[in-house]
Structure 1
Amino acid sequence: MGMPKDIKIIDCMLGIPDAEDRSAWFDPFRPLIKDQQTLEQFAMPAQYMFKDIPQTGKVDDFVSWTVEQMDQHGIDKALVGWNDNPTSYRAKEMFGDRFFFDLPCDPNKGMEEVRRIKRIHAEVGLSAISVFPAGTLPQVAINHKYMFPLYACAAELGLPVLLNAGIPGPRIPMETQKVEHLDEVCWFFPELKVVMRHGAEPWEALAVKLMLKWPNLYYSTSAFAPKHYPKAIIDYANTRGADKIIYAGYFPMGLSLDRIFSDMQNVPFKDEVWPKFLRENAIKVFDLK
């Protein structure tokens, strides 16, 4: 059976644009980029991987516009990155029942970043923290000592951590995101929920092995059109991993919701997997009410 129509979907990676110009997406790791095509021609750092990147056009209220897009596709709630800017505060104030938040973090900042996590969590009520290891400057690997204060902080606060894993889309080095690095983290922090983002390719089979090994490790489907979900991940969800695979999109960063949910009809999940994939696993992992 295809995707059911009656599930209130939870999207675990969605963005609220701040403006039509998205060039600021490059800022954290722009010094790492060396190829001129990326610097001079790309509107988003991994543009070569995506067709028809969504364009918002002129929008007066990006927060309300985002909720309208969610409503059109049956998305009940969405995990978005928290920024200390008016857009994030308006999203929480206007639609606190529709958005929950992760805080993008920089392990290079040490205890300053730990204090920031605790401050914002006390103010906002975070649902997760996140790190893009290949996009840190300098780059910091998933299992590097600089990451451990963030992991300890997240474990103390009861927050999951979202980690990009696998070869990064932007043309920057991949070493920091090798899936094997997750093994040490899951071992040292058994109470910390760790969620892989952005595919884990080409080590998706290893990702499955590690999810079988570690009960605190999960996988989200962010940045992949459903027609490109790795076969190993679909097979795992349909067998022993139904509780481990979480739906996450990539709108409006690289994929339109029309594209995602058109493709989704052809994903060969078993009937009993769909509710967990689209909603229930997110409620469990992110402790949603």
Structure 2
Amino acid sequence: MTMPVDVPVIDTMIGFPLRDPAKTYAYITRQTKDAESRGDLKMPAGYMFKDVPEDGSEPGRDPVEITLEQMDRHGIAVGLVGVRGEDGARAVATRPDRFVGTLSVDPNQGMEAVRAIVSAHDSLGIRAVDVFPAGTTPQVAINDKKMYPIYAKCVELGLPIFVCAGVPGPRVPFAPQRVEYLDEVMYDFPELVLVTRHGCEPWTDLAVKLMVKWPNLYYSTSAFAPKYYPREIVDYANSRGAHKILYAGYYPMGLTLDRIMNELPNVPFKDEVWPRFLRENAARILAIE
């Protein structure tokens, strides 16, 4: 059960030091109603983390280079990054050896969102799409029919979609992210590769049952410090789900890579699970050689 040190890690949720945190998180804070979320938290789910890292920005330094330094320090070979912002799009274009792109979309935009996926696929070679159902305005549930054109385009282009599921960290309603909604989506789109983000709590047991049921449903460990990985997920990876669980961090949003990598070796994965978890599953889903 020893974590290998020679596996080139693929991080399926990493980002760059924020140039303007208030602007970055405005899509959430415009929904929240409590004073703490609107003013005192470093990030909208900051109350959930013991030590939310500083934004990591350094005057006069390129945020992409700062993240690359962190990746090199911790053995992360490739990072999946959002391409909505200037830094993500530039990183994917100039360092395709280290970064692959995902496009965040809002299903409320209808065909605009679909056209954005096609454009990013053509111009930036994105490898994935992602949606935060509870973070859209108005909120759009995982199984809402507004999501269906997004799912259909992902199938057509052969792109996986990363979808937040379970109770969200920001203080917004959780109803759009109920885990049972995944069952309907996977039934209607059996070819769709869907990876959950942010834990699926408190329905982790159900998430495991659905992964057993649906071949193309996966789970990533984003936004969880390794010491808090759900027991059900670790047990599933160690039994019949070694091919279904993907490593995802949360740098720099809520966790430092120092903390993640210090805690990760203590996760009781079996020896044969580690390479799949750290790299192979993500490499297969994201078409990374």
TM-score w.r.t. the length of structure 2 is 0.97
Mapped pair 1:63 → 2:64: yes
Match of 1:14 in 2: 14
Distance 2:228 2:38 in 1: 27
Structure 1, residues 87-122: CA drift from partner, whole Å, max 9, x if none? 233312332100001100000000111111101110
Distance 1:2 1:165 in 2: 30
Match of 1:270 in 2: 270
Q: Which amino acid aligns with 1:63?
A: V
Mapped pair 1:49 → 2:48: yes
Q: Which amino acid aligns with 1:10?
A: I
Structure 1, residues 217-269: CA drift from partner, whole Å, max 9, x if none? 00000000000000000000000000000000000000000100111011000
Match of 1:285 in 2: 285
Structure 1 segments unaligned to the other structure (5+ residues): none
Distance 2:257 2:44 in 1: 20
Q: CA deviation at 1:186?
A: 0.6
8 A contact 2:29–2:37 mirrored in 1: no
Match of 1:185 in 2: 185
Match of 1:255 in 2: 255
TM-score w.r.t. the length of structure 1 is 0.97
Match of 2:148 in 1: 148
Number of residue pairs matched? 287
Identity %: 56
Q: Which amino acid aligns with 1:73?
A: H
What SS does structure 2 have at the residue aligned with 1:149?
Answer: helix
8 A contact 1:25–1:44 mirrored in 2: no
Distance 1:248 1:88 in 2: 17
Distance 1:77 1:251 in 2: 14
Structure 1, residues 116-163: CA drift from partner, whole Å, max 9, x if none? 110111001011000000000000000001000000011100000100
Q: Which amino acid aligns with 2:53?
A: P
Structure 2 segments unaligned to the other structure (5+ residues): none
Alignment of 1:1-289 (within 5 A): 1-19=1-19, 21-55=20-54, 56-59=56-59, 60-85=61-86, 87-289=87-289
Q: CA deviation at 1:57?
A: 4.4
Q: Which amino acid aligns with 2:168?
A: P
Q: CA deviation at 1:211?
A: 0.1
Distance 2:112 2:94 in 1: 30
8 A contact 1:220–1:248 mirrored in 2: yes
Structure 1 stretch displaced more, 58-67 or 171-180: 58-67
8 A contact 1:25–1:45 mirrored in 2: no
Distance 2:241 2:72 in 1: 29
Distance 1:218 1:108 in 2: 25
